[in-house]
Amino acid sequence: MISTSDLAGRLYYEYEKYFEVKLTHRRFLYSDILLLINGLKNKNNFAIKKAGKSELGKDIFLVSYGKGKTKIFLWSQMHGNEATATMALFDIFNFLSNKNDFVELKNFLLKETTIYFLPVVNPDGADLFQRRNYFDIDLNRDAARLASKEAKLLMKIFKELQPDFGFNLHDQDTRYSAGNSFKPATISFLAPPVDNSKKMTLCRLNSVKLISELFSILSKYIPGHIAKYSDDYEPRAFGDNFQKMGTSTILIESGGWKNDPEKLFIRKLNFILILSALQSITLKNYKNQQPEVYDRIPLNQELLRDLIIRNVAVNRNDKKCKIDIAVNFEEINIPGKHLQIKDPSPFRIAVNN
C-alpha cells in the first residue's frame, strides 16, 4: 500500500479520470443528483437506500460502500447553496467504481470499512440554491430541537449507524483569509468541541490528529491557504453533537481560490482530502500524527474583499479627499435559471495564488 502522501500526489495528477462531467456547475438541480444516484445502482459494491424525505417530499438517499467493521459517515449540502463537496463525492463514486486503478486500496476499503454517504441533506434548499431549508431553518442549528424533517433524518441516520468517523462537508465565505494574510482560506478545518470547556476527549483527539495529517498533505498543494475555525462550542450544531456522542468528527469547509468561481479546483482538493482521510483511517495512520500541528493552523479571519478601488478622489463642499472603496459582490438567485457549462473539463483552470 502506498503512503497516504503518495496517494494524494497520484490523485492530484490523475483526478481528470474521475471527474463527474454531469456536474460542471455548483448550481445543479437535485434531479441531476437523483439521476447520478440511480446510476450507482448498476455499479458493484454500492448499496442505495431511500433514507427519508425533505419538507417538500423529495427522496433523500443514503449510499454505502464496503462491508467492513470501521464505519465512516460523510454528509454534504445541509446548506443548500454549499455544493462543492457534493460534486466531489460523485467524483469519489467514480473513483471507487473504477475497476482498474488503485485496486489494493479499494479492496482494503471494501474489507475493512463501511462508508456511508448522504450526498444532499437539504434538497429543497439545493433547488432554491439557498442556505436554509424550505421553512427557512438553518439545519446546522437544528441539531438540538430537530424541528425540520431533514435534521430529524440526519440525526436518525447517525444514531442508527453510530459511525467511528464523521465528515461534515460545507462551503464557507470566499472572503475568509488564512490568518492575518492576503491569502484566501481555500480549505478550513475544525475538530468540534464536546462542550464549553473544549476538553480534549479521545474522540476529539482522533479528529485533531487526522486533521493534522490532512493539513500536512494539503500544504504541498495550497501552502498558506489552509485555516481552521474557532472551536467555540455550538450546542445546536450537528458536528459538536456528533463529537459529543462518540464519533470523531471533522468539519471541512471549501472557501475561495483565485479564478475559480465554481470552486472546481477546490472540488478537486475535496476529492484528494476525503480519499486520503479514508486511507488514513483504514490504516490507522492518523494515530501517529502530532496534535500540535493542528494547533499551528491559523484561524479564519474576515479580511478579504471582492474588489478594492484605490485612491478615489472625493469632493464634498469644496473639500477633497482620497479614499479606497471596498466592494463585495452579491450573488442573486433568479428562479428557474440554472447555468450550465459546456466545457466537459472545467477543472483546467488557472491555479495561481
Domain with 96 in it: what CATH number?
A: 3.40.630.10
pLDDT confidence of residue 148: 98
pLDDT confidence of residue 338: 59
339's grid cell: 447555468
pTM score: 0.94
Work out the angle at residue 191's Cα, subtended by the Cα atoms of residues 172 and 52, and round it to the nearest 5 degrees.
70
CA distances from 82 to 125, 173, 245 (A): 10, 10, 25
Q: 20 in a domain, yes or no?
A: yes
Q: 344 in a domain, yes or no?
A: no
Q: 351 in a domain, yes or no?
A: no
CA distances from 7 to 14, 92, 254, 271, 280 (A): 10, 14, 21, 12, 10
Is the confidence at residue 349, as pLDDT, over 60? no
pLDDT band at residue 13 under the 50/70/90 scheme: very high
Q: What is the arithmetic mean of pLDDT over 249-262?
A: 97
The one-letter amino acid code at 286 reads Y
Whole-number Å distance between alpha carbons of 6 and 148: 42
> Counting beta carbons within 10 angstroms of the beta carbon of residue 291, is it exposed (0 to 12), middle (13 to 18) or buried (19 or more)?
middle
- CB atoms near residue 353 (< 10 Å): 13
Say if CB 82 and CB 168 are below 8 A apart.
no
Is the confidence at residue 339, as pLDDT, over 70? no
91: containing domain: 4-327
Q: What is the arithmetic mean of pLDDT over 153-179?
A: 98
Residue with cell 424541528: 147
Per-residue model confidence as pLDDT tens digits over 59-117: 999 999 999 999 999 999 999 999 999 999 999 999 999 999 999 999 999 999 999 99
CA distances from 115 to 61, 74, 210, 291, 320 (A): 14, 8, 17, 25, 64
- CB atoms near residue 100 (< 10 Å): 6
Is the confidence at residue 47, as pLDDT, over 80? yes
Average pLDDT over the chain, rounded to an integer: 94
- DSSP states along 119-142: --S-HHHHHHT-SS-TTS--GGG-
Q: What is the arithmetic mean of pLDDT over 22-38?
A: 96
Whole-number Å distance between alpha carbons of 22 and 19: 9
Question: How many Cα neighbours within 13 Å face the side chain of 41?
Answer: 10
Whole-number Å distance between alpha carbons of 264 and 71: 28
Considering its fold, how many domains does the chain have in total? 1
pLDDT confidence of residue 329: 92
Beta strands in 17-68 (DSSP E): 46-53, 59-65
Q: 72 in a domain, yes or no?
A: yes
Element (H, E) at 39: helix 30-40
pLDDT confidence of residue 193: 98
Whole-number Å distance between alpha carbons of 192 and 246: 12
Q: What is the arithmetic mean of pLDDT over 143-152?
A: 98
Lowest mean pLDDT among 145-159, 221-235, 290-304, 339-353: 339-353
Task: List the end-to-end C-alpha distance of the chain, in Å, as a whole number.
Answer: 33
pLDDT confidence of residue 335: 73
